Amino acid sequence: MTETETGPSIDTALGDLALLPGATRVLEDHALDFCCRGGRSLREACAEQGIDATAILEQLRAARSGPAPDWTTLDAGGLVDHVLEHHHAYLRDELPRLEALAHKVRSVHGGLHPELIEVEALVRDLRHDLEPHLDKEERVLFPAIA
């Protein structure tokens, strides 16, 4: 990965950028193909799209997680709020996107990689297992402890 002292640069390949936390959402939002065309640098891909690579790089940096809260200062309600706002909201946004991405990758590459059929099924099963779990926590557990 081509990086500066502060992290990735505009010369970093899209495929490498996609490995960073939160990066795939940013890349997808700008239609930057990190899969089949992941060998291109951010600079090259943005030039092709007519978008500012530096602005995208800043969005990628902003997508990285910040420091964790001081858990000792939060009461039960604060912890519940954190779980809802950060973890449940994240999963509710990402699970459908990941299921669609697994389907797309299997559709494009499944002929050469039959194991992607199982990956797609596992992602689908994960979503269908987690969503009711989140609902139950929000309906039963969290009201009982907050």
Confidence of residue 7 (pLDDT cuts 50, 70, 90): confident
Quick one: average pLDDT of 11-28?
Answer: 93
Q: Is the pTM of this model over 0.75?
A: no
- Following DSSP, what letter does each residue of 11-63 receive, concatenated? TSBHHHHTTSTTHHHHHHHTT--SSTTTTSBHHHHHHHHT--HHHHHHHHHHH
- Tokens, residue 125: 């099963």
* Distance in angstroms (rounded) separating the CA atoms of residues 99 and 34: 17
Question: What DSSP state is assigned to residue 71?
Answer: G
Question: What mean pLDDT value characterizes the chain?
Answer: 92
Residue 10 DSSP one-character state: T
pLDDT in the model for residue 66: 67
pLDDT tens digits for range 70-128: 889 999 999 999 999 989 999 999 999 999 999 999 999 999 999 999 999 999 999 99
